[in-house]
Amino acid sequence: MDLWERARAFAGEAAKRSQELSAEAAKRSSALVSETAKKSKEIFSETASKSREIAAEATKQADLLAGQIMHLASDLPVPSIPPIPAIPPIAAAASSEPDAAELERYGVTDDLREFVKGMTISTFRDFPLQDEPEVSDVPTVSNVRQDLNEWQARHATLVLSAVKEISKFRYELCPRYMKERKFWRVYFLLVNSYIAPFEKKYFEELKVKAEEEKKDSQKEASQASTTAEPKDTKAPSKTSSTNPEHDLDVFLLGDLGSDDEGPVDGDDGLDDDFDKIDATSGLESDDDDKKPATGKAEDAK
C-alpha cells in the first residue's frame, strides 16, 4: 500500500511539474512571438521609411536632371525637319495577278474557262496519246516545260495561275500518272480550237514587228553611211592648177578662160607688145638661118 501511494504521489507530482513546465514554455513562447512581431514591425517600418526617403531623393534628382536637360535644350537651335512624304501602297506583283489584256492576248478567255470546267482527271489520264521518250536536257522553269514555244509557255504559266482546275489536274497527275511533257501535249490538243486564233495572231504580230525593225535598221545604216561619206560638190577653182607653166601663163596673161570676167583695159596694148617681141624674135632667127647659107656659098667659090 505504501508503494502504491508513493507511485500515485510521484505521478501526481510529475503531472503537476509537467503542467508547470508547459505553462512556462507557453508563456516564454508567447513572449518570444510578441518580441519577434515587435521587432519585425520595427524593421518593416524602418525599411518603409528608408524606401520613402530613397524614392524622394531619386525623384528630386530626376527633377533636377530634367530641369538641366530642358535648360540645355532651350539653348540649342532646333533644326527644321522636312516633312516625310507619304509612302504609296505597295502594288501587288504583276506576275501574281495578270491583267485582262494579257490574258486575252494569250487565249485565257471565258470560253476556255467554261471548257476546262467540264474536264476531269480521267480526261487527261484516258486520253489516247502514247508516251514519248522523255528528253532529259529540257529544263522546267516556273512549272512549265521549256520544250513549248514562246506563246505556249506563257499561256501555260497564265492558265496555271488563273484557272485553278488546270493547276489541280497537273498537281494530281504529274508525275504520278504521266510525265510533264505528256500533260501539256494533251492539254494543248484538247483546247486547240479555243487558243489557235490567239497563237496565230501573236506570231503574225511578231513577224510584222520584225520586218519593221529590219526596215528601220536598214534605213539607219544608209543614213549613217551617207553621213560618214559626204560628197564634195564644190567646183574646182579655175585659178588653181598643178602645172607650173599654166600658173605662169595665168600670172602673166590673166585667167583668159573665165567667161564671167569682162575685158580688162590695157589688154590690147599688152598684146601689141607681145606681137612686137614675137616679130623681133622671128627676124633674128631668119638672119641666123641666112648666115650659114652665105658661108656655104663662099666655100663653094
Q: 272 or 164, which is more confident? A: 164
Question: How far apart (Å, rounded) are the C-alpha atoms in residues 214 and 206?
Answer: 12
Q: 265 or 83, which is more confident? A: 83
Length of the chain measured in residues = 301
- Residue 7's Cβ-count burial label (10 Å; 0-12, 13-18, 19+) is exposed
pLDDT of 2 above 50: yes
CA torsion sign for 189, 194, 198, 201 is positive
What pTM was computed for the model?
0.43
Q: Predicted confidence band at 301 (pLDDT cuts at 50, 70, 90)?
A: very low
pLDDT at 20: 87
Cell 512624304 belongs to 85
C-alpha cell at 101: 489584256
pLDDT at 246: 60
Residue ranges in 106-176 assigned as alpha helix (H): 110-117, 121-125, 150-162, 164-173
Express each pLDDT in 46-83 by its tens digit. Answer: 888 888 899 989 998 998 888 888 877 777 666 666 66
* Adjacent-strand bridge partners of 144: 141
C-alpha cell at 90: 505597295
Cell 485582262 belongs to 100
Q: 282 or 149, which is more confident? A: 149
Express each pLDDT in 161-214 by its tens digit. Answer: 999 999 999 999 998 889 999 999 999 999 999 999 999 999 999 999 999 999
Q: Predicted confidence band at 299 (pLDDT cuts at 50, 70, 90)?
A: very low
Express each pLDDT in 88-125 by its tens digit. Answer: 554 444 445 778 999 999 999 999 999 999 999 999 99
C-alpha cell at 133: 521518250
Residues 6+ apart with CB under 8 A from 169: 119, 121, 124, 183
pLDDT at 226: 80
The HSE-up count of residue 266 (CA atoms within 13 Å, CB side) is 2
Please answer whether residues 237 and 243 qualify as being in contact, where contact means their C-beta atoms are separated by less than 8 angstroms: no
Please answer whether residues 183 and 124 qualify as being in contact, where contact means their C-beta atoms are separated by less than 8 angstroms: yes
